[in-house]
Amino acid sequence: MMRKINVGIIGFGTIGSGVHKILQENRDIISKRLGAIVEVVKIADLDITTDRGVKVDSGILTSDAQEIIKNSKVNIVVEL
């Protein structure tokens, strides 16, 4: 079984949503190269209601970046 790397994204405008989209679209390639599954588990942005054109489970959205920073399950925090 592959290990899992949990990612939190802070900032979900043009760049943040683009990073999420790339991680989604290239999930298999990234997993194969890393030997790990990379999963975005939390996304923080001041505006979580605007459609960014990226499929995102609403349960991972928050307007509080501290939810990502203080979350012990998040292995990598990306601030954009």
Q: What is the pLDDT of residues 26-65, one digit of tens each?
A: 999 999 999 999 999 999 999 999 999 999 999 999 999 9
- Please give the share of the chain, as a percent, with pLDDT higher than 70: 100
Range of the domain at 31: 3-79
- The CATH number of whichever domain residue 40 belongs to comes to 3.40.50.720
> Per the structure, how many domains does the chain have?
1
In the predicted structure, residue 9 carries a pLDDT above the cut 90: yes
This prediction's pTM: 0.93
Whole-angstrom distance, CA of residue 9 vs CA of residue 61:
10
Question: What gap in Å lies between CA 14 and CA 78, rounded to an integer?
Answer: 14
Q: Is residue 1 scored above 90 in pLDDT?
A: no
